A = this chain, B = another copy of it.
């Protein structure tokens, strides 16, 4: 049973004999069951050599057998004391990185374990290596994203705003078989492209604008994420071309080197050095990429401090960018899968300079 194997892999990596997982995505990964408890407590307690226990509010009661013991609680129960019944008080507890203080501080007060350490790295490292079925779903999600990008360019027309443009993307994704966005789409026109996390606003498309689409969807629970940049109705200026080609070179050079056994900080450095050599180092203000799977942003990241060594089954983004309002804002992003002896770029939408309109 797949799920059992995943739990075993996690406990092999875990530094504690008991691990409390509270992230709904990790709970799905380990049980095949989606439970989104909102502000209520959800926890999967893995104990070395014992049956896992799933703590669920009785509002989310379900029938399926998941190979875990179910421990239901009510809104009026003290859930911490219910968790305490199942933990080993004399042993440290690994906790999820997203466990909230409203649960963690009372757990400490009630001494449900002898100590508390961050424990979800073992989960993240397991999730970072996609199995064959997951790889296929990642391909599928990115294929839908490629097809959607092909349609998004036709949303552009004189007078349209970023918001109006972004508002039409969900329908396109759904018609292509996606269940929704993997994140709120970024549509940025002109100088807004030089803001890496711009949220679509009422900016109107103008002749000569750069158009940046950073978009992704969810297909069969797995996420895609891609960025492309277009030029509206005018050939790019020399400086826009320079910035575009520099980002493209950083993107492609980093992708081409990918294979198992690389330190990800070195991949970040390769892309960053190209942009720095081109004179825009200070305008590349973020990490090169992030892992992705059930969630748009998974661990680890591809940054200058990432000690992670690439392995077959990793899927992450390669997304260098230059954000210079005086020159141009450009980011080019693909998802890449690490294969047995190299890599596979999951996005196929072209990167040549395209003038639309």
Contact = CB atoms under 8 A, between A and B. Distances in A.
Interface stretch (A47-55, A100-108, A151-159, A209-217): A100-108
A91 interface: no
Contact of A98 (B97, B101, B117): B101
Contacts of A303: 75-76
Contacts of A95: 101, 105
Contact of A99 (B59, B76, B101, B305): B101
A117 B108 CA distance: 11
A38 interface: yes
Contacts of A287: 75-76
A116 interface: yes
A313 interface: no
Contacts of A102: 97-98, 118
A58 B101 contact: no
Interface string A63-83: 000000000001110000000
Nearest to A96: B101
A104 B103 CA distance: 12
Interface residues of A, number: 33
Nearest to A58: B285
A263 interface: no
A28 interface: no
Of A59, A101, A118, A304, the most chain B CB neighbours within 10 A belong to A101
Nearest to A119: B101
A103 to B, nearest CB: 9
B105 A75 contact: no
Nearest to A167: B174
A197 interface: yes
A39 B74 CA distance: 29
Contacts of A167: 174
Nearest to A306: B76
A297 interface: yes
Given A99-B101, A104-B105, 18 more contacts: A38-B297, A39-B297, A58-B285, A59-B286, A75-B287, A75-B301, A76-B303, A95-B101, A97-B100, A97-B101, A98-B101, A100-B100, A100-B101, A101-B101, A101-B104, A102-B118, A105-B117, A105-B118
